[in-house]
């Protein structure tokens, strides 16, 4: 690990030297790429520097204890030694986490797809509530949310909704939300007051670029244009702005009508198609790499029941890490950072354990 850390420090210094060169500064594309690489390495370099300083402090304290006879000085050295040893242990764990292989998609924007599952209208209502929960959370992070596609019901529910989240590191955080979300409550439409259980599936997909999936052949898709329907602005039912994109090889159908112009809706539909194709590619890769999939915390299997929202008891339980919080109202208002932090920590711990076993 320490040989690798020394190599990282050397490479970081090389990057700093390159960024100061006039030729690099004048090439915005190259400069941006090097700045990104330098920014990614900075936390590792800083943690390693603190680690070496703590080690030096241990050596200094031990030297004082060997040479010093004054009892007060020896007590101070013992305290500093204990603090430095504790710091070294903590920084070793930090460095191990920082050196874990990074998901190449972590820095990407994401497309989130929410679908109502079992439970009929109640599932659609909860799907709409989950959508609002994610919108509130992502906006609190300073990220931008853009609606791509939605299929609403008459009483405020959503059978399906797709939206884009644009923000640095969005996928690294939101990827843990993929799976089946279960709700237990008395539906507003239920007169008998019985608690019902409904489900909603959430899929979090990294935004794909053409380089991720290759070129889409014109022979593989069909585009139909039509008038937008349902809730919307002035252009709904007045112009042929809505687009239906059908991709034959994977039987994917995308309906886009959220924008006023046909071209904008077409661009959104193709962006969603690329993302879905890239997501299928990643899922197939994960199925082959079963060991890697088992070492992850619920980012692979969409059919996995990951969380229960129990309204009568006001609790949220994440089943992957046995975490229960009694603050359902805050969670539904977008306060999900505590859950996400716990999932990230559990994922890191599991991956470290797998690495230790392999070594």
Q: How far apart are CA 249 and CA 255, in angstroms?
A: 17
- pLDDT tens figures, 36-82: 889 889 999 999 999 999 999 999 999 988 888 888 888 999 999 99
**Cβ atoms of 270 and 245 closer than 8 Å:** yes
Measured between its terminal Cα atoms, the distance across the chain in Å is: 12
50-54: long-range contacts (C-beta < 8 A, 24 or more apart)? 50/87, 50/91, 51/88, 51/91, 51/92, 51/95, 54/84, 54/87, 54/88, 54/91
Q: How many CA atoms lie within 13 A of 145 on its CB side?
A: 19
Residue 223: count other Cβ atoms within 10 Å of its Cβ.
13
Distance CA(63)–CA(77), nearest Å, equals 9
Residue 289 — φ and ψ, nearest 5°?
A: -90, 70
The phi, psi pair for 2, rounded to 5°, reads -75, -30
C-alpha to C-alpha distance for 153 and 160, rounded to whole angstroms: 10
Length of the chain: 359
Contacts 24+ apart (CB under 8 A), 62-65: none
Stretch 86-104: mean pLDDT: 87
DSSP helix, strand, coil percent of the chain (3-state; round to 5): 50, 20, 30
DSSP-assigned letter for residue 8: H
Question: Residues of 319-336 as b/e, b for ≥16 C-beta within 10 angstroms?
Answer: bbbeeebeebeebbebbb
Q: How confident is the model at residue 331 (pLDDT cuts 50, 70, 90)?
A: very high
The residues near 321 (Cβ < 8 Å, ≥ 6 apart) are: 297, 342, 343, 346
Return the CA Rg of the chain: 26
- CA 237 – CA 147 distance, rounded (Å): 19
Q: pTM for the complete prediction?
A: 0.76
Residue entry with tokens 């603190």: 50
> 252 has which bridge partners?
247
Model confidence at 142: pLDDT above 90: yes
* pLDDT, tens digit (0-9, with 9 covering 90-100), for 222-280: 988 887 765 544 444 456 788 889 999 899 998 888 888 888 888 888 888 888 888 88
What does the alpha-carbon distance between residue 162 and residue 282 come to, in Å, rounded to a whole number? 19
Instruction: Give percent above pLDDT 90 in the chain.
Output: 42
pLDDT tens digits along 158-198: 999 999 999 988 999 999 999 999 999 988 766 667 888 99
Reading the block at residue 255, the tokens are 């309906």
């Amino acid at each position: 690990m320490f040989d690798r850390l020394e190599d990282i420090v050397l490479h970081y210094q090389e990057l700093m030297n390159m960024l100061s060169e006039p030729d690099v500064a004048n090439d915005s594309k190259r400069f941006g790429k090097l700045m990104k690489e330098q920014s990614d390495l900075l936390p590792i370099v800083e943690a390693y520097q603190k680690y070496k300083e703590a080690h030096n402090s241990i050596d200094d304290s031990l030297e004082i204890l060997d040479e010093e006879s004054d009892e007060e000085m020896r007590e101070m050295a013992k305290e500093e030694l204990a603090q430095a040893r504790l710091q070294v242990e903590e920084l070793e764990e930090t460095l191990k986490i920082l050196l874990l292989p990074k998901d190449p998609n972590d820095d990407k924007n994401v497309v989130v797809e929410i679908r109502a599952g079992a439970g009929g209208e109640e599932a659609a209502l909860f799907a709409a509530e989950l959508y609002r929960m994610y919108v509130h959370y992502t906006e609190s992070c300073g990220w931008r949310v853009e609606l791509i596609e939605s299929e609403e019901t008459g009483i405020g529910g959503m059978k399906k909704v797709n939206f884009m989240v644009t923000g640095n590191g969005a996928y690294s955080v939101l990827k843990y939300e993929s799976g089946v979300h279960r709700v237990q409550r008395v539906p507003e439409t239920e007169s008998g007051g019985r608690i019902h259980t409904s489900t909603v599936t959430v899929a979090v997909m990294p935004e794909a670029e053409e380089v991720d999936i290759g070129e889409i052949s014109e022979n593989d898709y069909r585009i139909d244009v039509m008038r937008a329907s349902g809730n919307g602005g002035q252009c709904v039912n007045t112009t042929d702005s809505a687009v239906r994109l059908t991709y034959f090889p994977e039987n994917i159908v995308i309906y886009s009508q959220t924008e006023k112009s046909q071209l904008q809706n077409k661009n959104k539909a193709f962006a969603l198609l690329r993302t879905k194709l890239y997501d299928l590619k990643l899922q197939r890769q994960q199925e082959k790499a079963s060991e890697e999939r088992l070492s992850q915390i619920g980012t692979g299997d969409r059919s996995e029941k990951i969380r229960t929202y129990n309204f009568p008891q006001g609790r949220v339980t994440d089943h992957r890490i046995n975490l229960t919080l009694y603050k359902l109202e805050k969670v539904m208002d977008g306060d999900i950072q505590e859950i996400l932090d716990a999932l990230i920590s559990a994922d890191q711990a599991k991956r470290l354990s797998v690495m230790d076993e392999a070594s």
